[in-house]
Amino acid sequence: MSPIVRIALEEDIGAGDVTTRACVPESQQAQGWFLAREPLIVAGLGLLAELYDSVTLHKQDGDRCHDGEVIALVRGPARVLLERERVALNFLQRLSGVATLARQFAEAVEGTGCRVLDTRKTTPGLRALEKAAAAAGGVTNHRMGLFDAVLLKNNHIAAAGGVRHAIERARSSGLPIEIEVRTRAELEEALDAGAAHLLLDNLTPAEAADWVREIAGRARVELSGGINLATVRAYAETGADFVSAGAITHSARAMDISFRLELA
């Protein structure tokens, strides 16, 4: 059992599920269905195998579910099924929310050649799960953390003494380097220093299109800053290679999934 699942169970069950122990015989066996209660993209199904000994999946991560469809069937002692119900639902509802919103972003930019990236704006402790859910929904995972790629933002540039110094010093890491540029002067300095991946933040679509034309393929371009479902298509049509949206993880709502128990 993974640490995050163990923590979730300990948080909810504590010293024991007093309600279930009071009214359900220890020997009672049961089965239960996880059901979609609205259209959604499901994610997090791998966690069910950590929670239950007998799991039959009717869907896979990334599958579309309609209202009323069975997502999975679990079997075992009724006490176990009941005491782990909320933890299972919390994971499935949260992760399916991320996957569903990610699919909406991915579909919004179809045909533009631009890819949607997720961000590090995730729930503490759930990053790996939420990024897996985002990928299941159809967007591209950006860096997992501070350790697997270099992203030079305005404060790094200030601390390093400028754009060129920041890029030159970052090359010693041997990792991919992306740099944020905020002015035309910073843009030219970054390109002269050999920057291959630029981050343009908080521009309007019209401004972004103008910058992309000036860059003219000399570096890959990512756009970020308040991009949402209503605006992502306009940003994708600027010619940028990527758009990143923190909303995919920090603003996804939990989807409506229920659990129905039946005695065996």
Q: CA 71, CA 208: separation in Å to the nearest integer? A: 42
Q: From the candidates 180, 186, 189, 241, give the one annotated as an active-site residue.
A: 180
**Residue 153 catalytic?**
yes
Q: From the candidates 37, 86, 120, 220, give the one annotated as an active-site residue.
A: 86
**How would you classify the pairing of strands 220-224 and 197-201?**
parallel
- Residues comprising the chain, all counted: 264
What is the full DSSP assignment across 77-122?
A: EHHHHHHTHHHHHHHHHHHHHHHHHHHHHHHHTTTSS-EEE--S--
Q: CA 232, CA 243: separation in Å to the nearest integer? A: 8
**Residue 180 catalytic?**
yes
What is the full DSSP assignment across 24-56?
A: S-TT-EEEEEEEESSSEE---GGGHHHH-SEEE
**Residue 189 catalytic?**
no
Q: From the candidates 63, 69, 201, 256, give the one annotated as an active-site residue.
A: 201
Q: From the candidates 75, 115, 153, 220, give the one annotated as an active-site residue.
A: 153
Q: CA 190, CA 162: separation in Å to the nearest integer? A: 10
Q: CA 161, CA 70: separation in Å to the nearest integer? A: 57
**Residue 201 catalytic?**
yes
How many Cα atoms occupy the beta-carbon half-sphere of 193 within 13 Å?
23
Q: Judge whether 229 and 104 are in contact, CB under 8 Å.
A: yes
What is the full DSSP assignment across 120-188?
A: S---TT-HHHHHHHHHHHTPBP--SSTTSSEEE-HHHHHHHTSHHHHHHHHGGG-S-EEEE--SHHHHH
**Residue 121 catalytic?**
yes
Question: Sign of the C-alpha dihedral, residues 78, 79, 84, 89?
Answer: positive
Catalytic residue numbers, as ranges: 86, 121, 153, 180, 201
